Amino acid sequence: MIRAPQVSARHAEIRHLGGEWFEVVDLGSSNGTWVNGQRVQSARVRATDQVRLGPVPFNLAALGHLVGGSADLAPGVPPPPQQVPAGPIVGRIGPYEAMRQIGEGGMGAVFLGRDGRSGRPVAIKVLHPQFRRDPHVVERFEAEARIQAALDHRNIVKVLDLVSAADTTAMVLEYVAGESLEGMALRAQPLPLARVGRLFDQVLAAMAYAHARGLVHRDLKPSNILVEPAAEGEQARVLDFGVAKILGSQKARTATGARMGTIAYMSPEHLRSPKDVDPRSDIYSLGVVLYELLTGRVPFDAGSEYELMRRIIDEPPDLGALPASVPAGLRALVGRALEKAAERRFQSCDEMRAALRAALPASYFSMAAGVALPAPPPFAVPAASQPDSGQTLHISASDLEPTPPPSATPPLARIVVATVAWLLLMLFLYAASSGR
């Protein structure tokens, strides 16, 4: 127990998860629980992270000795499989139990939850009540779930289910224990070059996969990229395809075709005509993200939206702001990704990823950096089914994924079969000739 006037009697709960990992959960304190300078409701932390209960520092390394000694805090040990702790349930959504709110966006709030059938931890994104009466917003929200459920890549957060009833619309996603690139960049500006290269390579792999399936994200930014600890190294996970455009679709994601996304990360063509974006617009946004990770700031800022849009459309980025430690090849990569004209940028994320790997030492990359995937078969996002009033709608990811092509007989197997057939034929002919 910590006795200090600035610390509440029941301020926070700290659980040792195994290895070097702890979970810190604020218990409704008045002056907050802080991790690395940011106030949190809950967070997964290492012994090296800076934790404060109000203004009072808390030494996690000392706590490690209490729960198993310093040998238990070996660096590089991944967290154990996640278990949702027992606690009050703030609401039930279909078979899912919402435990506590862990985030909020423009369209809804995100809760840490649990699948009541399996006990599996999940993230539940619930549409704000004021939007549930607007059929266009509900359609866009459900379209986001269907789009993201159809994507199956290690570097993309998976949608597991969509629950739609008379009074609730919610999307159920994988629960990713980690922090966003935005949070990482705020703690360490700029991030180490090796870490930037490794994580950005994974993001490019994820977006190459999405683009090959006819999807443009349209809202790529550091807060939409999570970083998850894993046994093979950190994994970048792209999320929030809520403003994604389906290439070739004539149906807009909103009734008005209004500009969607975050202005500082938008391409010039996105600002001019939101309906005309293609994968190269995402490449521009990724250029902004990379610039920010390397410098600690976005390439363009201004006091008003109009001035910011004018600068993005008219002014060149200041590549001189990149640190001297950034290699010439990576500097050129950033400049090309931020070209005003889409035809002067990288034409695909695969091309940009190849340039990234050519610009940085091979030691920066590993199998944890994502895997190049073959081009998928043509894919169309299925239409939503219409439930009866009050019915709960469940959309399984397996129902939304494209059907894989039938497997062909491996070439080696064909060779073996042909060889055996030839030998049998020779034996038959030999036997026939011997009989004569």
33-35 and 38-40 beta bridge pairing = antiparallel
- State in Å, rounded, how far the first CA of the chain is from the last one: 101
Does the annotation count 282 as an active-site position?
no
User: How far is the C-alpha of 418 from the C-alpha of 420, rounded, in Å?
Assistant: 6
Q: Which residue has the tokens 């944890």?
A: 368
User: How far is the C-alpha of 197 from the C-alpha of 303, rounded, in Å?
Assistant: 31
Q: Phi and psi for 153 in degrees, rounded to 5?
A: -145, 140
Q: Are 202 and 370 in contact (CB under 8 A)?
A: yes
Choosing from 219, 240, 282, 350, which is the catalytic residue?
A: 219
Give the residue from 154, 248, 161 showing the smallest Cα distance to 205.
Answer: 154
Q: Are 22 and 60 in contact (CB under 8 A)?
A: yes
Q: Are 270 and 287 in contact (CB under 8 A)?
A: no
Beta strands in 70-168 (DSSP E): 91-93, 96-104, 108-115, 121-127, 159-164
Q: Which residue has the tokens 């091309």?
A: 351
In a 10 Å sphere around its CB, with 0-12 CB exposed, 13-18 middle and 19+ buried, how is residue 398 labelled? exposed
Q: Which residue has the tokens 């042909």?
A: 418
Tokens of 166: 């008379």
Query: Which residues are part of the catalytic machinery?
Result: 219
